Amino acid sequence: MLQYILKRLLIFIPTLLVISLITFAISTNAPGDPVEQMLTSQSGDGQAANLQASEKAYLDLRKELGLDLPIFYFAMSNAAGTDTLHKVAKKFQRDNLNRLTYEYGNWNEISAYYSATRKLEELTFSVKKDSLNRTPLISLKESINEVMTKHEDGSLQSSFANIEKQIAKAPSLAALSGPLDDLKNKYKGMVDNATSYKYYIPKLKFYGTNNQYHRWFFGDKPWFGKDDGNWASAGFIRGDFGKSYRDRRPVGTVLWEAIQYTFIISVLSMLITYLIAIPLGVFSAKNNGSIADQLITTILFILYSMPSFWIAVMAISFFCGGDYFDWFPPYFSPDLEGGFFSDIKELAYYLFLPLICWSYGGLAFLSRQMRGGMLTVLSQDYVRTAKAKGLDDRTVTWKHAMRNSLLPIITIFASVFPLAISGGIVLEIIFSIPGMGKLGYEAVVARNYPIVFAVMMFSAILTLIGYLVADILYAVVDPRISYSNKK
């Protein structure tokens, strides 16, 4: 058994790496710009954030997040491109440069054209506004933005013409004529010296460990030797899950604040469910077809058919004040400052209704599974043999039959194990519990991806652990199951 456990733990390493690669690939392709999102969330107003987030602030935050690094250790590219495109800050600019590379294939000329466009843009923003140039400047900036995002010759020529037209409208814009001519010359050089065939020549580019994935998963903190404190990320496997896009707090801190309540509720719910469902299923199987069995079956099917969110709403309506009983609080706001026993009493008061709503559905399902497993086992030959030997009914039921009927229950346990941290989204929102389900929902809505992907990674890890625990429990409840290589 120990050898099997060690093998499974070793298999966890490549499995975890694959999961991390999938999670990271999803995160890098998620919509939105995390830098703009963090700057916007700080100001609370998108327009004000654009004014506040200067180019330097944007680039500094991008570097802090490691977004100025290449994505992976290597990349399959082509001879027409460059290995430094990741240094271009704006995604729409990178996409346009990729398209120009596909069209013309001469990176040196494309880079010169891009630099000329950026220079014209910077000079436009440095122009002092007056009554004559206010309206032309707006149109001028729009046309330059079109140049940064388009690659079709017709669209670009139209934008160049409009820029030239707006410059002629105000004397204060005359200084932009020279940079515009330089931009047009750079564009002509890019078109005239096209080498588009290079785009079809494959090229493998290596970046080493200084990349976004390595920084996210392993961190840039030294594993050995003295730590000088100048590192930016310790990495996921060492407990650094990044920063929240909403408030720039460490994701680990945000998760810990939410996971404690979800963990308490989930563990208590599983204990309650299993401690009630197993004896109930055994009793129903032992009394198969009796009035008690039929009554239990009917009640459990009724419970299983009622949605937990509906029961939660009814419970709040009937037992949390209003026109009926005022037995429990409608919102989760415990005061945990009174000591250990006082805190337990306070949590019990606030968690009683949520625990019922969390548990009754699983109770109905597990008891039915236990009943079915027991009915199958009780009909086996070895059970009849044990009874024929004179063993009392209690020993046959609980020592011989029940252990083998637990195998389906253990399989179910492996699948619900990750729920210890994932939580119940709907129930946590209804009861206003600041747990992982509510946090995950709010993170998805707000596109707060570091939290979303940290929850994904933890759920995957707990899934692996759950299946390992299930395999161990299989061997515990049924000695016939062996993971050794002996025949």
In the chain, where the domains are located = 74-206, 251-477
Mean pLDDT, residues 63-69: 85
What integer pLDDT is reported at residue 180 of this predicted model?
Answer: 92
Instruction: Provide the pLDDT for residue 51.
Output: 39
pLDDT attached to residue 226: 59
Helix (H) or strand (E) holding 202: strand 202-206
- Does domain 74-206 correspond to CATH entry 1.20.1440? yes
Least confident of 152-166, 168-182, 292-306, 389-403: 389-403
Question: What separation in angstroms does the CA of 470 have from each of 412, 476, 481?
Answer: 9, 10, 12
pLDDT tens track for 246-299: 888 888 888 888 888 888 888 888 888 888 888 898 888 888 888 988 898 898
pLDDT, position 53: 44
The pLDDT tens digits for 202-229 are: 888 888 888 999 988 888 776 665 555 5
pLDDT of 185 over the 80 cut: yes
Q: Which amino acid is at 469?
A: V
Amino acid residing at 143: S
Q: How confident is the model at residue 45 (pLDDT cuts 50, 70, 90)?
A: very low
CB of 418 closer than 8 Å to CB of 384: no
Average pLDDT, the chain: 83
In the predicted model, what is the mean pLDDT of residues 175-186? 92
Q: Residue-wise over 384-423: b if at least 16 C-beta within 10 A, else e?
A: eebeeeeeeeeebbeebbbebbbbebbebbbebbbbbbbb
Q: Could you give the angle at the alpha carbon of 397 between the alpha carbons of 391 and 400, nearest 5°?
A: 80
Of the listed ranges 192-196, 201-205, 375-379, the one predicted with least confidence? 375-379
Higher pLDDT, 52 or 120: 120
pLDDT at 48 over 50: no
Name the CATH topology of 251-477: MetI-like fold (1.10.3720)
Task: Tell me the C-alpha to C-alpha distance, in Å, between residue 321 and each of 88, 190, 310, 316, 331.
Answer: 58, 73, 17, 8, 11
* In contact, 430 and 309? CB cutoff 8 Å: yes
